[in-house]
A and B are shown apart, each in its own frame.
Chain A
């Protein structure tokens, strides 16, 4: 079954404690991206990756890092989380960006206290 898997689904952490949210896809897609969704602000793109070792900033990259060492995995790293990073996070993958069908993960609800 074609899917994008994020882990964990829920996470509560403290300010400053490094964390990683994993994202894996089984469709051999080249394009992967991360979004955060906050009430009233919609889906905002954090980072995207066109292929292995190719990543670029989206609209709200501050405070986040990503890596793309393998095609299937695209982890989101928060080196020093802060309360304003409390949000619902989605990972997505598609064959190519924009004009191809994108598949989204189940979401990770992160709370930073």
Chain B
């Protein structure tokens, strides 16, 4: 299971774009990269998933370079309500038997 490394915390201001990078040097060929968001006392919520290049949905974008050893979650024009913990997970769709969360990145958006 590829280990992931993220910054412990980040601060931003309303209206800014926020980029959170996740390092996964040991990512395997079949691994996908998935990001979750968690608000206090709530369960994590799926944000986005990708395999390579760029994925965009109504909430965020995910950038994955060609070597796939890292990925960047991009949140456009954050608001106070985006204050949460963001988790990066890496795993494949065939062999993974578990789903382990790392420490995540605590994003604080200030007015």
Chain B positions within 8 Å of A103 at CB level: 46
A59:B97 contact, CB within 8 angstroms: no
Chain A facing B: main interface SS:
strand
Using a Cβ–Cβ cut-off of 8 Å, how many residues does chain B contribute to the interface with A?
26
Complex formed: what's the CA distance from A77 to B97 in Å? 21
List residues 77-112 of chain A with CB under 8 A from any CB of chain B: 88, 90, 92, 94, 96-107, 109
Quick check: which of B14-22, B59-67, B68-76, B85-93 contacts chain A, the rest being far away?
B85-93
Docked complex Cα distance between A43 and B32 (Å): 20
> Do residues B41 and A88 form an inter-chain contact, with CB atoms below 8 A?
yes
Most buried by B among A4, A43, A90, A94: A43
Query: Interface extent on A, as a size class?
Result: 20 to 34
- In the complex, what residues of B have CB within 8 A of residue A88's CB? 41
Compute how far the CA of A105 lies from the CA of B34 in the bound complex, rounded to whole angstroms: 18
Q: Are B46 and A99 in contact (CB under 8 A)?
A: no
The verdict on A66 contacting chain B, using a C-beta distance below 8 Å, is no
